[in-house]
């Protein structure tokens, strides 16, 4: 196999995944273009790729929601496997829902050996993506922006996924107990210790990521607008002025005091928000036009990929869903050139192959219709 971009997916197979029964493809190119009609399964294949990294995939779906319904209309557990080249040679990755477990339990194997948890996936592959669902990222609530930022952190620090999961679980459990009127102070205090420790760790990792990302955005040149990024919130303000241990203690006290007053809200990481500014216009991204918001999102994604390459020596796997449809010919060409210069593999989707004429000779083209993949 010739030297290529790192990391790169060389073989991909999906089983009982969304609209796919069984499908496989082989790739030997720095770019992959998947084209076909709406509903054919293009985004589903990108979602399968997104499960090769830590996290809940590009749709943030429950594992059982991904299962394809068998002929009996009973769900059959899905699986995704891939051979990737991570720069150190080929590695086989497998993941999917455990068919023997009640609930959503995920299995992971590396070279056929079961792994303890999904964090190990981040040792081999970082994945980032843009989808049409993200077009309103800057205009809607902060939850989507926090999830977007956390995915950027995962690419640098796979353990961040575990911190976010612990935080989310402890917050949900505390909220459930308070709504039910359970007054088990020891139990609640233990959950609040977890929220304080995990919450400050999550906020610190997000803050460090945004500082680096802002520097990368400031240094960027090209066809996409310059962006300025910052993270705002009570924990971030505290971390800028105090040691993390003091911020953690203040959050723990805040949780206890609000609980004793019968309140469930608190000044934690759920109040953090990512702010993006269009530098040339000195305008918040949420007030920019739809096209400008898309261009800013691409600018941030490209800056993150360059940053990842600078710090980890390789680019993330990029999944760009229907991105060409929102760009004019000049911007499409600029995107293809910028992504190609990153040195990693990129997967594009679109309805019309003509939108990707600029990648002729550089990309592997596949057509998808009703879950059937055909090389073009």
CATH number at residue 323: 3.40.50.300
Statement to judge: residues 108 and 190 lie in one domain: no
Point out the least confidently predicted range of 33-37, 96-100, 246-250.
Answer: 96-100
Residue 295 lies in a domain: no
Statement to judge: residues 25 and 150 lie in one domain: no
Model pLDDT for residues 232-246, shown as the tens digit of each residue: 999 999 999 999 999
Statement to judge: residues 285 and 173 lie in one domain: yes
For residue 117, name the pLDDT band (cuts at 50, 70, 90): confident
Point out the least confidently predicted range of 257-266, 269-278, 342-351.
Answer: 257-266
The beta-carbon contacts of 253-261 under 8 Å, at least 24 apart in sequence, are 255/174, 255/192, 255/195, 255/196, 256/189, 256/192, 259/178, 259/188, 259/192
Statement to judge: residues 153 and 120 lie in one domain: no
Statement to judge: residues 161 and 196 lie in one domain: yes
Average pLDDT of the chain to the nearest whole number:
91
Statement to judge: residues 145 and 102 lie in one domain: no
Burial grade of 129 (CB within 10 A; 0-12, 13-18, 19 or more): buried
If one counts every other C-beta atom within 10 angstroms of the C-beta of residue 179, the result is: 9
Statement to judge: residues 280 and 183 lie in one domain: yes
Residue 299 lies in a domain: no
Statement to judge: residues 190 and 277 lie in one domain: yes
Statement to judge: residues 10 and 143 lie in one domain: no
Statement to judge: residues 282 and 327 lie in one domain: no
Statement to judge: residues 334 and 280 lie in one domain: no
Statement to judge: residues 111 and 146 lie in one domain: no
Residue 309 lies in a domain: no
Domain containing 155 equals 139-290
Residue 303 lies in a domain: no
Model pTM?
A: 0.89
> Coil, strand, or helix at residue 89?
coil
Residue 296 lies in a domain: no
* Whether the predicted pLDDT of 75 surpasses 70: no
Model pLDDT for residues 353-369, shown as the tens digit of each residue: 999 999 999 999 999 99
Model pLDDT for residues 7-22, shown as the tens digit of each residue: 899 999 999 999 999 9
């Amino acid at each position: 196999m010739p030297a290529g971009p790192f990391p790169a997916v060389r073989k991909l197979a999906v089983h009982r995944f969304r609209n796919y029964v069984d499908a496989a493809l082989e790739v030997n190119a720095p770019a992959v273009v998947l084209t076909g009609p709406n509903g054919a399964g293009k985004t589903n294949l990108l979602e399968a790729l997104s499960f090769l990294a830590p996290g809940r995939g590009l749709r943030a779906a429950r594992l059982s929601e991904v299962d394809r319904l068998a002929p009996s209309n009973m769900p059959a557990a899905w699986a995704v496997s891939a051979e990737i080249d991570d720069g150190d040679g080929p590695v086989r990755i497998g993941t999917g829902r455990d068919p023997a477990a009640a609930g959503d339990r995920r299995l992971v194997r590396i070279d056929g050996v079961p792994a303890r948890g999904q964090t190990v996936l981040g040792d081999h592959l970082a994945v980032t993506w843009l989808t049409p669902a993200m077009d309103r990222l800057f205009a809607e609530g902060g939850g989507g922006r926090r999830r977007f930022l956390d995915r950027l952190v995962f690419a640098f620090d796979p353990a961040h996924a575990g911190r976010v999961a612990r935080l989310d679980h402890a917050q949900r459990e505390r909220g459930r107990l308070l709504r039910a009127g359970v007054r088990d102070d020891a139990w609640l205090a233990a959950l609040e210790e977890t929220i304080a420790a995990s919450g400050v760790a999550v906020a610190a990792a997000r803050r460090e990521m945004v500082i680096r990302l802002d520097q990368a955005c400031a240094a960027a040149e090209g066809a996409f607008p310059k962006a300025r990024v910052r993270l705002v919130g009570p924990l971030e303000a505290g971390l800028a002025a105090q040691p993390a241990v003091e911020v953690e203690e203040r959050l723990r006290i805040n949780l206890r005091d609000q609980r004793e007053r019968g309140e469930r809200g608190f000044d934690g990481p759920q109040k953090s928000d990512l702010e993006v500014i269009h530098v040339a216009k000195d305008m918040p991204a949420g007030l920019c036009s739809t096209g400008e918001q898309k261009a800013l999102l691409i600018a941030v994604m490209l800056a993150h990929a360059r940053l990842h390459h600078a710090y980890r020596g390789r680019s993330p796997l990029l999944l760009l869903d229907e991105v060409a449809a929102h760009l004019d010919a000049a911007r499409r060409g600029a995107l293809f050139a910028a992504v190609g210069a990153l040195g990693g593999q990129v997967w594009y989707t679109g309805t019309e192959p003509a939108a990707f004429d600029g990648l002729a000779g550089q990309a592997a083209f596949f057509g998808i219709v009703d879950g059937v993949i055909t090389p073009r």
